[in-house]
Amino acid sequence: MTTRHFSLIAVAALAGTFGFAIGTTPAAAKASNPVIYADVPDMSMIRVGANYYMSSTTMHMSPGVPIMKSTDLVNWRTIGYAYDTLDDTDELNLANGKSTYGKGSWASSLRYHKGTFYVSTFSGTTGKTYIYTTKDIEKGPWKKISFRPMLHDHTLFFDDDGKVYMLTGGGTIRIHELTDDLSGLKPGGLDQVAIQNASAPSGPNVGLPAEGSQLFKVNGKYYLFNITWPRGGMRTVVIHRADKITGPYEGRVGLQDQGVAQGGLIDTPDGKWFAYLFQDHGAVGRIPFLVPVKWEDGWPMIGDNGKVPASLELPDNKPLIPGIVVSDEFARKPGEAPLPLAWQWNHNPDNTAWSVTKRPGFLRLTTSRTDTDLLLSRNMLTQRTIGPECSATTALDTSAMKDGDFAGLCLLQKKYGWVGVKAEGGKKALVMVSAESDRPVEVESVPLEKRGVYLRADCDFNNKADTARFFYSLDGKAWTAIGKPLKMAYTLPHFMGYRYGLFAYATQAPGGSADFDLFRISDKLPGGN
């Protein structure tokens, strides 16, 4: 067996509602599933020596294709991104009324080959396939290659004979040979069907054809992982194996339990094997699981008797703060990055219209144009929500807001909600807005006499409650509920778990600004609310 394995994951197809009993971990066990209770879908994972690296999907967010590192497979931290901006288009720039919600870049494929790291992805927004390369995955820089066509849900694969391939498609899986420099499809190279009906092992009544290809080579055999979704059933792992990359492939169902699916294989330095997969988990998003694997007759057998265990013989899970999300006081020491890696912009930012240096200790968002809705507002700074519950607080200085300006703390998805301040007629008011009904409704407005206010949003994902509540405070101590609870819903148009967002936008004239003094996130809900 090789000590370095290369994996890809695919784009998720539909958002399900399969529950997973996240209960107490038995005394003898250490880690528990899910290993990350946050939206980290479409994982692709490799091991290089004793270190594990993982890429994931954040679609319309910028920077994109987050790269994470772990030394134990359980506890992960973000170490970088494959790109700052995917491309320069109106959709990606959130310009001229266009957006790329739910699109951007989808499932990536992470590889390590002869001293170089590779991350490939694709975009329905641009119609391109992208490959990023670096010698140093933790520090970069990444070099970019792009070409057409867009190869949907592809897996990048370096074979032992030096040839490079991508396997791609849904239902029918094709294999394409790439040029040696990876700049495109090789003229006259291999281009053929690898598996005519990759969905077949999961039965005839398939709603989602097999996609999300990830190819591995273990002990001389090729193993292709895909996901299907039988009608009336759940996400299902399908595995095909072959002696040659071109086939013929024989297939079987690899796992069908609680909708945990889509991913691939990873091994540990001491010879243990796991499948890394994810589960649709309501409004928090698509959350990663690890499932033990044993080899029988040349097949990877996933699960404990075909079931996803609640606990794992791996090191204990540590809190997701600060590994996945972080609090931020917006104070920067010389030489520090402007923003911690947990932050991502909703679409490409306008870098002329935000700063953490113009007013030290504050994030300043300046309106550079007029917009009509939160979802069109540029320079929204976001982080994931985390489960099973979380709470985020910010402090907003409204002094430089102009009439027609809105600023505050939101929970971003199609059915969004936010608490913040609107400036109107020379006055300011605290408002809570809900788009639960698919259109924004100002649920409550309270006059604001002070220039500064604290804002808070609480998320309860316990047992799929998927409920958010909003609060404000004039002193950061005594909190008052505002508006009504938001029933959060994972929607396909956004294809992402809810995110906290700091925003400011103008509806009358640009030039106003909002200063955010802090962002603090907790994995516990404040008591008494």
pLDDT tens figures, 68-93: 999 999 999 999 999 999 999 999 99
DSSP E strand stretches across 256-404: 261-267, 273-280, 286-296, 299-302, 311-312, 344-346, 354-355, 363-366, 381-384, 389-397
Using the predicted structure, report yes or no on whether residue 383 has a pLDDT greater than 90.
yes
Q: Does domain 7-312 have CATH number 3.40.50.300?
A: no
| Percent of residues, the chain, with pLDDT higher than 90 | 94
pLDDT band at 302 (very low <50, low <70, confident <90, very high): very high
pLDDT band at 28 (very low <50, low <70, confident <90, very high): low
**Could you tell me the CA-to-CA distances from 109 to 20, 45, 414 in Å, in that order?**
27, 8, 28
Using the predicted structure, report yes or no on whether residue 341 has a pLDDT greater than 90.
yes
Phi, psi for 202 (deg, rounded to 5): -90, 5
| Percent of residues, the chain, with pLDDT higher than 70 | 94
Which is it for the CA torsion 436, 440, 445, 448, positive or negative?
positive
| DSSP single-letter state for residue 426 | T
pLDDT in tens, 223-243: 999 999 999 999 999 999 999
* pLDDT given for residue 399 in this prediction: 98
pLDDT band at 6 (very low <50, low <70, confident <90, very high): very low
* pLDDT given for residue 1 in this prediction: 34
What average pLDDT does the structure give for the chain? 94
Q: In the Cβ-directed half-sphere of 126, how many Cα atoms lie within 13 Å?
A: 22
Which is it for the CA torsion 165, 169, 174, 178, positive or negative?
negative
| 224: enclosing H helix or E strand | strand 221-230
Identify residue 224 by its one-letter amino acid code: L
Residues in CB range of 304: below 8 A, 6 or more apart: 292
Residues in CB range of 40: below 8 A, 6 or more apart: 54, 56, 68, 76, 278, 285, 286, 287, 288, 324
Contact between residue 122 and residue 212 where contact means Cβ atoms under 8 Å apart: no
Using the predicted structure, report yes or no on whether residue 378 has a pLDDT greater than 60.
yes
Using the predicted structure, report yes or no on whether residue 426 has a pLDDT greater than 50.
yes
Domain segments of the chain: what residues? 7-312, 344-522
Which DSSP string corresponds to 29-57?
--EESSSS-B---S-EEEEETTEEEEE--
What average pLDDT does this structure show over 158-170?
Answer: 97
Task: Provide the token pair at 84.
Answer: 């700052």
pLDDT in tens, 489-513: 999 999 999 999 999 999 999 999 9
Using the predicted structure, report yes or no on whether residue 452 has a pLDDT greater than 60.
yes
Using the predicted structure, report yes or no on whether residue 4 has a pLDDT greater than 80.
no
* pLDDT given for residue 24 in this prediction: 44
The rounded distance, in Å, linking the Cα atoms of 222 and 257 is: 24
pLDDT in tens, 343-373: 999 999 999 999 999 999 999 999 999 999 9
Query: Can you say whether residue 316 is alpha, beta or left, with left for phi > 0 and alpha for psi between -120 and 50 degrees?
Result: beta
pLDDT in tens, 41-73: 999 999 999 999 999 999 999 999 999 999 999
Contact between residue 167 and residue 157 where contact means Cβ atoms under 8 Å apart: yes
pLDDT in tens, 190-225: 999 999 999 999 999 999 999 999 999 999 999 999
CATH class of the domain comprising 344-522: mainly beta
H-only helix segments in 46-108: 90-93
